[in-house]
Amino acid sequence: MSNEKLEKIKKELQEDLQNVKTETFLNELKVKYLGKKGLITELNSEIKNIPNEEKKSFGMAVNEIRNLFNTSYDEKLKAFKEEELNKKLASETIDITLPSKKIKRGSLHPMTLITEEFEDLFVSMGYTVYEGPEIESDENCFQKLNIPKGHPARDAQDTFYLKDEFENFLLRSQTSTAQVRAMEENVEKKPLRIVCPGKVYRRDEDATHSHQFMQIEGLVIDENVSMADLKGTLELFCKKILGEKTEVRFRPSYFPFTEPSVEVDVSCFKCQGKGCNLCKQTGWIEVLGAGMVHPNVLQMCGYDPKKYQGFAFGTGLDRFAMFKYGIPDIRTIYGNDIRFIEQFARKDDTYEIK
Amino acid sequence: MKLSRNFVNDYIDLDKDLSIKKIAEDMTSIGNEYDLAYPLIDCTNLVVGKILSCTNHPDSDHLHTCVVDIGTEKLNIVCGAPNCREGLKVIVAKDGAVLPGGTIKKGIIRGCESNGMICSLAELGLENKFLEAKDKDGIHEFADDVEVGSNPIKALGLDDEVIDFELTSNRGDLLSILGMAYELGAIYNKKVKSIDTSFTETKDDVNDVFKIQIATSDCPLFLAKKALNVTIKESPAFIKNRLIASGIRPINNVVDISNYVMLETGQPLHFYDADSLGDTLIVRNALENEKLITLDNIERTLSPEDIVIANKTSPVGLAGVMGGLSTEVELTTKNIIIESAIFDNIKIRKTSKKILRSEASNRFEKGLDPNRTYLAIERSCALLQKYANAQIMQGTVVYDKISKESKKISLSLDKINKVLGITIPEKEVISILERLAFTVSKEATSLLVEVPTRRRDISIEEDLIEEVGRIYGMDNIKGKLPVLDISLGTYNKTKRAIKHKLADLGLNETVSYTLISKDNVKDFTTDDFEPIYLNDPMSEDRNALRNSLLHSLKEIYLYNKARNNSDISIFEIGKCFYKEDTKYKEDLHLGILLSGEFYYDIKKTKVDFYILKGIAEELLDFLGYENRYTFEKDEHIPRQLHPGISASINVNGNKIGFLGKVHPKTLKDDVYVLEINLDKLLNIKTAKMKYKDISKYPSIIKDVAFIVNKDITSKEIMDTIKKASSKILTNIELFDLYTGENIGADKKSLAYKLTFMSPTRTLTEEEVMIIFNNVIEKVQKAHNAVLRDK
């Protein structure tokens, strides 16, 4: 009799489970089968009425039904929960094409980018970045650089002098003035290795000249540095800044504060030396002035020219920025049009070491 | 300096096969940079022709149809020149000829065949200033002895080539054909030929009829000679053509000779009409406001800085710059005083800068070789005799207080190699120096080099090293990296960190001009400083050194606004300048300007005071000033800021800057600015970055809201809360601000979250409540606050 009942309950359960469509109905089944007066619970209480030799097999059969219920229940419940969550997620769907909540994209000015690139390169070679003041004395800007008053080299650097009691002071026309300061401040007169980036000012203005622009000056003083060392240094530097294929050419020239002096040309990076508009068909572009520090300059800044010699080089940072980023007019650099500035809001990996 | 190849060929034999470009490049490689190298007449396919017949074009009122014999054939050519006529020998550009104006092609001109062009000199590319009157309006007319079929450029004597050099300012000696010849001699190992200075003199001594007085220390050498009975006429073709090639307009034989000798020797000469000048010549400094009419018929007002040449009554020339009109050599001139002198180069530079840059002043400025002063006066006499039939009086009037000794400089081989970083053998060093025409003698451990006086740029051993290097070839130096002690490279990390921080926060860096207008120099300042001005500004827009970056940022804002770039968030770091006592000062400032949107979202949130304040706080925290700064309402703030929406920024009680909204009188738009004196700020030391223990114990959080009058600031309430608590209050956060009718129109509600925590133990609810209740009581009392129900 009990076995019949058992088979009936099992059949009923299987039918019920097939008809479960909601979580509520599933829970009602739990009460129906496993509740205090549930069908399976009742079967349990009937065990005592079963003959001893059948008890075991009956018990196993009841457990089987119970397990059937539990497994099915868990499965169904999980499926209902899953379905419910999916419904919720679906209802939360957003339009991912709407604009982002974006913070403005900041950027460093191209002159900062180029300055830092130069600084990093020289710092890695043991140079210290030395920034002097922008107001200078005539003495530091010219006289101590071997350019006495009335010297024709002053013509090339038409200078802004200050008014009234500061008539012997000026806005520096070249970063070479920082050389003078660094040498004088080095009281122990030890070897020196510096680069001096900064703003300079000249009375000049057109598409390639701005009355304010930026230069960087390099100076190395030691007992045995030579033109060959200068060339090697500039070769390395030009390759790193302008590309590994860059070649460097020395042409003798004249600067009052160096002797010997050279102009430094690099092979044209636009046409690789074949000749183009940028290099005026010569294959070369003049980028730096350099030379061995004039003994008069060493002397005036307190170094013994018999013991020490040094090399110096200088160049326009704007020129490099114009080359590197292809900016045709220097006035664009200082125009600060946001559409210009924002173009530099990214990492530049042109010369990254791979 | 334009170098004529024909001219320099008088003094050095250059290989005919050397192209002008090669010479120019070789000169450049030894330091004499060229700009252009070109044939004086850059034309092809030209030939001398003879017009056999010339008839009026049937279809034109000014064209002619000509038959022209060019030797090999007879060409029909249509020509429009008014002077075109039968029998004339002319320049013919054949079919395919390339002229500066384009290529000549066969064609039909108004129905008539034309197989070339009869040319004017202008069509060959000769500048108008070099054309004689007869050549200005038509085709060039050759003399009849010119051969048909020959090369017209040769027949004109214009078969020359020119290199235009951009010389360095130390090489005044290269402003002469002789100087160039020495450079070329060094390159190609050729000797420079001597200059012809031979002439005959009359029996009478010039010193008996002419005197000079030198009444200034600015003239160390003055020579004068007298030429009699000159014939003024056209110069011979070679002189004219060389002047043209050198860029100087031929005038007449006498004037041309003075220019010709200047070009040859580098020594400017001046010729005076002797009869207008009188018997005495005085060199002196000009008087204040002294007047002189120069050759160009302009009255010049002089000062004692200028050196003048005068006769007994008045100035007759501006020394070294330009002659005077009153003693000009004219067609009627018979007798000439020749001046060859040296004047103080700095004085000449100043005068010429003020009055006029001339070929002469350019040479004087760079300094002259006294031996050339002597050479030039002799050379001019030789040419005047030969080409102007002059009789030269015996002797020279001389004032000479200048050294003409050549310099002797010791040169050590070791030093050459140490400076250049390469090894050049002694033999080669000597060879280079001798090619430069220096005299070299060997001494025990070095060379003794005698440098000719023409090379005024050479005075020390390093100068000689440069000579050796540049002729050896600076580019032949092989680069190597210096071997130096290891040293630590450093840079200003803080400045860089600030820039990067602000860029990371979404600001764009600008770089603007230091120079601004006097009218704006006090904008965005507290007006309590003395500005610095330029003595000689380029324009009124840029005559003062800025004291604030904000005027520049405002200009950038307006510039961008005018271009519809509406969301501006920019910063700049730059120097600002002022006077302090008797000294000038420059401080590094940071300026920020915000306008429009800072966060881009669909709600279009505009910038406000608090965004800018947040940027300032973030920057100050980042720099290590956390909990050490305050923003305070400040009466003493630039007038260009809104009085109610502005504050000063204070670190450790030092005012280091300000921020706020730009005053509507200055800008109508909603623009916010900040300026910090970075030098002041960074002088304030920060603590080292160091780990602090994080409390292991739980915190207790209490919320409280107060209703207070609107004029009470949040900072006042927070200060009271802090005072009423103990150290276990670790954080106060304002989490809600409410205003509304239901709490009263002049009231606001401020809600704070207070965090209590101890680093050493777990706090009890009771002890926190004691403090919390005390806080409530104190705030109620101090600010007349009412506790707001939750």
CB atoms A128 and B489 under 8 Å: yes
User: Which helix (H) or strand (E) is B425 found in, with range?
Assistant: none
Which of B657, B667, B660, B631 is CA-nearest to residue B644?
Answer: B660
Residue B272 within any structural domain of the chain: yes
User: Which helix (H) or strand (E) is B74 found in, with range?
Assistant: strand B74-79
Residue type at position B583: K
CB atoms B170 and A106 under 8 Å: no
Instruction: Identify the residue whose tokens are 């606001």.
Output: B748
B296, B354: one domain: yes
B564, B628: one domain: yes
> What does each C-alpha distance from B659 to B256, B543, B643, B653 come to in angstroms?
71, 27, 11, 16
* Euclidean distance between CA atoms B173 and A78, whole angstroms: 101
B386, B425: one domain: no
B540, B674: one domain: yes
B82, B147: one domain: yes
Mutation target to probe the B interface, by most B beta carbons within 10 A, among A231, A239, A282, A309 is: A231
Of B400, B423, B447, the position where a domain reaches its end is B400
Predicted confidence (pLDDT) per residue in B403-435, tens digit? 999 999 999 999 999 999 999 999 999 999 999
pLDDT value for A44? 79
Predicted confidence (pLDDT) per residue in B694-734, tens digit? 888 999 999 999 999 998 999 999 999 999 988 889 999 99
* Tokens, residue A74: 């868990």
Mutation target to probe the A interface, by most A beta carbons within 10 A, among B166, B498, B514 is: B514
Arithmetic mean of pLDDT, B542-565: 95
B145, B105: one domain: yes
Within B665-764, where are the H helices?
678-683, 714-724
* Euclidean distance between CA atoms B732 and B772, whole angstroms: 12
Arithmetic mean of pLDDT, B270-299: 94
Alpha-carbon gap: A90 to the closest alpha carbon of chain B (Å): 24
CB atoms B489 and A127 under 8 Å: yes
Per-residue pLDDT of chain A (354 residues; tens, 9 = 90+): 467 888 888 888 888 888 888 888 989 988 888 888 888 888 878 778 888 888 888 888 888 888 988 999 999 999 999 999 999 999 999 998 988 887 788 999 999 999 999 999 999 999 999 999 999 999 989 899 998 887 777 766 688 999 888 888 999 999 999 999 999 998 888 999 999 999 999 988 777 788 999 999 999 999 999 999 999 999 999 998 888 888 899 999 999 999 999 999 998 887 888 888 888 888 888 999 999 999 999 999 999 999 999 999 999 999 889 888 888 888 889 999 999 999 999 887 655 544
Closest-CA residue in chain A for B21? Answer: A282
Q: Decide which of B31 and B62 is more confident.
A: B31
The count of domains in chain B is 6
CB atoms A128 and B29 under 8 Å: no
B670, B568: one domain: yes
- Which chain B residues are within 8 Å of A309, Cβ to Cβ? 418-419
* B37, pLDDT greater than 80: yes
Residue B101 within any structural domain of the chain: yes
A330 contacts A208 by C-beta, under 8 angstroms? yes
Predicted confidence (pLDDT) per residue in B337-374, tens digit? 999 999 999 999 989 988 888 999 999 999 999 999 99
Closest-CA residue in chain B for A148? Answer: B346
Q: What is the CATH number of the domain that holds B262?
A: 3.50.40.10
* Tokens, residue B415: 């030093």
First to last CA, chain B: 91
pLDDT-based confidence at B515, cuts 50/70/90?
very high
Residue B481 within any structural domain of the chain: no
Does B500 lie at the interface with A, CB-CB under 8 angstroms? yes
B180, B303: one domain: no
Residue B688 within any structural domain of the chain: no
* B73, pLDDT greater than 70: yes
Alpha-carbon gap: A303 to the closest alpha carbon of chain B (Å): 16
- Which chain B residues are within 8 Å of A254, Cβ to Cβ? 31, 168-171, 457
CB neighbours (10 Å) of residue B527?
Answer: 10
| Structural domains of chain A, with CATH | 2-91 (no CATH), 110-344 (3.30.930.10)
* Tokens, residue B316: 């007759």
CB neighbours (10 Å) of residue B414?
Answer: 9
Residues spanned by the domain of B183: 2-40+161-188
Residue B585 backbone dihedrals phi, psi, to 5 degrees: -130, 150
CB atoms B420 and A226 under 8 Å: yes
B7 contacts B259 by C-beta, under 8 angstroms? no
Q: What is the CATH number of the domain that holds B752?
A: 3.30.70.380
Alpha-carbon gap: B350 to the closest alpha carbon of chain A (Å): 8
Arithmetic mean of pLDDT, B513-523: 95
Does B418 lie at the interface with A, CB-CB under 8 angstroms? yes
Alpha-carbon gap: A86 to the closest alpha carbon of chain B (Å): 29
Does B546 lie at the interface with A, CB-CB under 8 angstroms? no
Of A119, A156, A162, the CB nearest to B535: A162
* Euclidean distance between CA atoms B24 and A95, whole angstroms: 70
Q: What is the CATH number of the domain that holds B74?
A: 2.40.50.140
Does B480 lie at the interface with A, CB-CB under 8 angstroms? yes
B607, B712: one domain: no
* B737, pLDDT greater than 80: yes
Closest-CA residue in chain B for A336? Answer: B510
- Which chain A residues are within 8 Å of B365, Cβ to Cβ? 152
* Tokens, residue B57: 């074009």
CA angle B257, B263, B268 (to 5 degrees): 75
Alpha-carbon gap: A91 to the closest alpha carbon of chain B (Å): 22
B107, B234: one domain: no
User: Which helix (H) or strand (E) is B135 found in, with range?
Assistant: helix B133-136
- Which chain B residues are within 8 Å of A335, Cβ to Cβ? 559
Residue B690 within any structural domain of the chain: no
CB atoms B569 and A155 under 8 Å: no
pLDDT value for B289? 94
CB atoms B484 and A220 under 8 Å: yes
* Euclidean distance between CA atoms B292 and A107, whole angstroms: 60
Predicted confidence (pLDDT) per residue in B543-552, tens digit? 999 999 999 9
- Which chain A residues are within 8 Å of B475, Cβ to Cβ? 249-251
Between strands B89-94 and B46-56, the pairing is antiparallel
CB atoms A193 and B491 under 8 Å: no
Of B422, B451, B476, the position where a domain reaches its end is B476
* B671, pLDDT greater than 90: yes
ipTM for this prediction = 0.86
Does B597 lie at the interface with A, CB-CB under 8 angstroms? yes
Predicted confidence (pLDDT) per residue in A127-165, tens digit? 999 999 999 999 989 899 998 887 777 766 688 999 888
Residue B484 within any structural domain of the chain: no
Predicted confidence (pLDDT) per residue in B85-115, tens digit? 888 899 999 989 999 988 989 888 888 888 8
- Which chain A residues are within 8 Å of B515, Cβ to Cβ? 160, 171, 201, 211-212
CB atoms B504 and A338 under 8 Å: no
Does B36 lie at the interface with A, CB-CB under 8 angstroms? no
B443, B381: one domain: no
Of B651, B683, B715, the position where a domain reaches its end is B683
* Euclidean distance between CA atoms B584 and B581, whole angstroms: 8
pLDDT value for A276? 85
B234, B247: one domain: yes
Q: E-assigned strands of chain A?
A: 102-103, 128-129, 135-137, 169-171, 192-201, 212-222, 248-255, 258-267, 284-293, 309-316
* Euclidean distance between CA atoms B486 and A274, whole angstroms: 40
Residue B691 within any structural domain of the chain: no
Q: What is the mean pLDDT of chain B?
A: 93
Residue type at position B202: T
Predicted confidence (pLDDT) per residue in B436-449, tens digit? 999 999 998 899 99
Q: What is the CA radius of gyration of chain B?
A: 42
**B92 forms bridges with which residues in the sheet?**
B47, B118
Arithmetic mean of pLDDT, B662-667: 95
Does B459 lie at the interface with A, CB-CB under 8 angstroms? no
Touching A: B residues 51-80, CB under 8 Å: none
Residue B351 within any structural domain of the chain: yes
Does B357 lie at the interface with A, CB-CB under 8 angstroms? no
pLDDT value for A155? 66
CB atoms A228 and B569 under 8 Å: no
Does B581 lie at the interface with A, CB-CB under 8 angstroms? no
Q: State percent of chain B over pLDDT 70.
A: 100
* Euclidean distance between CA atoms B161 and B19, whole angstroms: 9
